[in-house]
Amino acid sequence: MGPKTPISHLPGIGQYYSYKLKHLEIETIEDLVYHFPFRYDDFSQLSQIQNLIPGEKTSIQGTVWQIRNIRTRNGKFITTATVADQTGTVEVIWFNQPYLTKNIEAGTPISLSGKVELDGHKFKLISPQYEIIRNGSQLSAVSSQPETIHTGRLVPIYPETEGITSKWLRAKIARYLPEYLKGQNDFMPQEILQRQKLTDIETALTKIHFPENIDEVKLARTRLGFDELFTAQFIAAHRKKQWQSKSVAPQMKVEKEKVQGFIKSLPFKLTGAQIRSLDEILKDMQGKIPANRLLEGDVGSGKTVVAAAAAYISHLNGYEVLVAAPTEILAFQHEKTLTLLLSPYNIKVGIWTGSKKAKGEVTCGTHALLSTFKREKQIGLVVVDEQHRFGVAQRAKLFLQDSKKLTPHLLTMTATPIPRTLALTLYGDLDLSVLDEMPLGRQKISTFVVPNKKRLDAYKFIEKQIKEGQQAFILTPFVEPSETMQTVKAATVEFEKLKSHFSKNVKLGLLHGRLKSREKETVINDFKSGKIHILVTTPVVEVGIDVPNATVMMVESADRFGLAQLHQLRGRVGRGEHKSYCLLFTDSQSQMSQKRLKSMEKVHVGFELAQIDLRMRGPGEIFGLNQSGFTNLKIADLSDEVLISCAQTEAKRLLEKDPNLKKYALLKEKINTQQLEYIQPN
């Protein structure tokens, strides 16, 4: 049975469960084995019944004396059982599981794990995990604990989906993990394992699923996390080396006087971070190796101005410039901003999207630049905004379209504040520039997590702002109602509801991603001109809409967003002279969700918020990893700078020693199957 054996071919799974497992991205036996727990229930404390303590989580092992179903008046079932060991008896109760009487009979040896409750003078276990003991171990002594996977130990809890429970996953992983491991040799070079004091892969995979104690979990997580970080960084370093050795860029002349003249002509003063970042980019553009730089900057930190200066230098050297954006809204916004900055130098700025096509010496566009745009002369610079929304292959196509001649310099930008450790892991092939200063005059937006009981007060506050001449955004996450996420309000439904909460003089508009380009443009222009007072929108508003008169951003179901994304949404207001506000609503009762959102009230620096989210939620979708080319970061702790540094050191060392992994066939195979890049032989 090979690692790529389809999950549907495994006994006991079949087509029905295969379909369900696709929602968890499990399609092969290897995917199943690499579906890791996100926490563990500690049921390792095995107790005798006479020593049970109310309120504690515990495990007992005994024999079922009796078990029966009781039908309640409303037609539901309660299953009750009496379980005994040598020290006493305990009553066990399950709700709405009448089939248990077929699975569990009187006389069955059983292991139970759950929370102990005291009802009068009787101990009870309510809805505990159960496991029938089949190995014939004696039950008389606590020390003779039989081997179990659902009870009596650290019990792994997995990401689940409808029809697939953690108990189901535990059973299948316990069954197929040994078979998977039979055919596997450790792919990580032994010298790396020894230097970094890492356990072998067989032990790591066994202990991540079925540990005896928390130390074994840590040992397994360190090894498996190192694997992810190492492979990600090896690919990035390998890509960078190939890029530098095989590509030749337009070598540009940078006249300092003209750069200074451009900076002085701007209607505002550049920050120190902007000047530093521009110097780094211009230094890149003077070299023969194509620039491949990531410019990170908080909302409103002035990334576009830096890109404009680089475009100006490219123009002076006789080259065209492409500016790629993920949405038409953002592409049109860039066209407007760059026209303002570059038209004094007689530089024509064009637009190239699905709905409008006009070339310029600098052309802003969407994915249409990848398919229908034909250059007229050599492209010297490609700027990709919100780069994590473009896949690796798409970015490659943008800057390799001139590969027969010269390869353009590449400047990618993002307003998603990625912590440096994460950026170095995900984008190790890019050089990093950070705009960590805000221009003068940018105000802090007063942010409040608002309880639902104050919703009507919030609507009154928004109407007051509108009467004073300002505007507002009300944001909902999805266009259509979703049965699986009942607390998430749909923008279309919310739009109709909101009309009743405001006076007839207040004009509402609706914006979402499924509108046609012209419809979007009309709505946005009406909002900018003041014809629309409140824009009800999905996260399509996240980038590209600049309305200085908007002073309120109200976010529904705010717990569904990462803090970095909320910070970007908040950045849509506070762009004018008026005091601005961000109101966050949530139906979630989770303490973690509340704590996360409360950090928005106190922290106004995107990088700090990103770090908080990284600690509390992990990378996940927060930073768009599925679009980055590294979809296999499931377990690595990206706040563990020591492990990241060790992985980076080992990746660079191996790259210098054997760049195409000729001596490490297993590692090469692992990387090629887990990453979106393929390591080509020389």
- Ordered DSSP codes for 8-59: GGSTTTHHHHHHHHHTTT--BHHHHHT---SEEEE---B--GGG--TT-EEE
Range with the largest mean pLDDT of 213-217, 371-375, 601-605: 213-217
pLDDT at 146: 44
Instruction: Note the Cα 618 to chain centre separation in Å.
Output: 8
pLDDT at 547: 86
Q: In the block, which residue shows the tokens 């003077």?
A: 286
The sheet carrying 550-555 orders its strands as: 446-449, 581-584, 550-555, 471-475, 534-537, 508-511
Average pLDDT over residues 399-416: 74
* Two structure tokens written together for 306: 């830096």
Band of residue 470 on the pLDDT scale cut at 50, 70, 90: very high
The Cα-based distances of 333 to 338, 354, 410 in angstroms read 9, 15, 20
| Model confidence at 624: pLDDT above 50 | no
Range with the largest mean pLDDT of 172-181, 509-518, 604-613: 172-181
User: How are beta strands 129-132 and 471-475 bridged, if at all?
Assistant: unpaired
Please state, in angstroms and rounded to a whole number, the distance separating the CA atoms of residues 481 and 135.
49
Query: Which residue did the predictor score with more confidence, 429 or 197?
Result: 197
Average pLDDT over residues 294-304: 84
Please state, in angstroms and rounded to a whole number, the distance separating the CA atoms of residues 397 and 379.
13
Q: Is 355 helix (H, G, I), strand (E, B) or coil?
A: coil
Reduced DSSP (H G I as helix, E B as strand, rest coil) percent helix, strand, coil of the chain, to 5: 40, 20, 40
pLDDT at 542: 53
Q: Which of the 8 DSSP states describes residue 448?
A: E
Band of residue 415 on the pLDDT scale cut at 50, 70, 90: confident
pTM greater than the 0.75 cutoff: no
Cα dihedral value 238, 244, 245, 248, nearest 10: 150
| Model confidence at 326: pLDDT above 80 | yes
pLDDT at 462: 96
| Model confidence at 66: pLDDT above 70 | yes
pLDDT at 398: 54
| Model confidence at 629: pLDDT above 50 | no
Please state whether 131 falls in left (phi above 0), alpha (psi between -120 and 50) or beta. beta
Band of residue 544 on the pLDDT scale cut at 50, 70, 90: low
Band of residue 651 on the pLDDT scale cut at 50, 70, 90: very high
Per-residue pLDDT tens over the stretch 493-543? 788 888 889 998 999 998 877 778 788 889 988 999 999 999 998 876 655
Average pLDDT over residues 28-47: 89
| Model confidence at 626: pLDDT above 50 | no
CB contact at 8 A, 293 and 280: yes
Band of residue 214 on the pLDDT scale cut at 50, 70, 90: very high
Please state, in angstroms and rounded to a whole number, the distance separating the CA atoms of residues 163 and 160.
8
Least confident of 29-38, 236-245, 392-401: 392-401
What is the rounded average pLDDT for all residues in the chain?
A: 84
The closest of 512, 474, 514 to 494, measured between CA atoms, is 474
pLDDT at 480: 45
pLDDT at 232: 85
Domains and CATH numbers, the chain: 60-146 (2.40.50.140), 249-435 (3.40.50.300), 446-603 (3.40.50.300)
| Model confidence at 450: pLDDT above 90 | yes
Average pLDDT over residues 472-487: 59
Query: Which residue did the predictor score with more confidence, 492 or 124?
Result: 124
Average pLDDT over residues 11-40: 90
Please state, in angstroms and rounded to a whole number, the distance separating the CA atoms of residues 95 and 381.
65
Per-residue pLDDT tens over the stretch 244-297? 787 888 999 999 999 999 999 988 889 999 999 999 999 999 999 988 898 988
pLDDT at 92: 94
| Model confidence at 620: pLDDT above 60 | no
Least confident of 110-119, 218-227, 260-269, 474-483: 474-483
pLDDT at 396: 55
The Cα-based distances of 440 to 146, 230, 269, 443, 575 in angstroms read 68, 41, 8, 9, 12
